[in-house]
Amino acid sequence: MKYQLIKRIKAHAPTMAAVLAFVIFTGNTNRDQKNVAANCCSGYSISMDKLQQFMLDSLHGNQFEGGVYARADLLNALNKIQGDSVYIMNVSKNCNFTRPCDLAITSPTSNGVAFARQPTCYPCPGKPCCPPKVCASRINRSCIKYTSFNGLMDGIELSSIPAKE
């Protein structure tokens, strides 16, 4: 009788080990993972009279979507795209988040994508100067807690470039 009990236990040992491992590993999941995305997002609510200064002060870094583009480069990239409508998306070339974002520009009738920071490299894909991949962000703006931007008193690090008067 004792021998049959041990034999039955041995037969079900792998199943019991799998169930035990499942219980242990699912119990160790981080329950705060749902809040990670909400915690890494922040933003400012900017009144219209302060928007220009905010853009001039903050778009030289990588903190916000957008950037500073040479007017000639932007017009050159726009002029390469055929059609009446253009599709513009902020992307990170090569998914390199330490570099500033770039604008990817295309249309349904164009031959590819043009980039605002590199308008001579058109059409992409198709040229060696084209990045092999880009990363585009989807941001759930409703999860962001927007605080009022009051200027330099908010304590964000602004660039030292003076505003044009």
Tens-place pLDDT, residues 36-52: 444 567 788 888 778 78
pLDDT at 35 over 80: no
Q: For position 135, what pLDDT does the model report?
A: 92
Domain map (residue ranges) of the chain: 2-28+48-154
pLDDT digits (tens, 9 = 90+) for 108-164: 998 899 999 999 999 999 899 999 999 988 888 888 888 888 875 544 444 444 444
Cα–Cα dist 86/78, whole Å: 8
Residue 98 phi, psi dihedral angles, 5° rounding: -85, -10
User: Which residue shows structure tokens 């031959």?
Assistant: 111
Beta-carbon neighbour count of residue 114 at 10 Å? 26
Q: Please state the pTM of the whole predicted model.
A: 0.62
Residue 135 β-bridge partners: 92
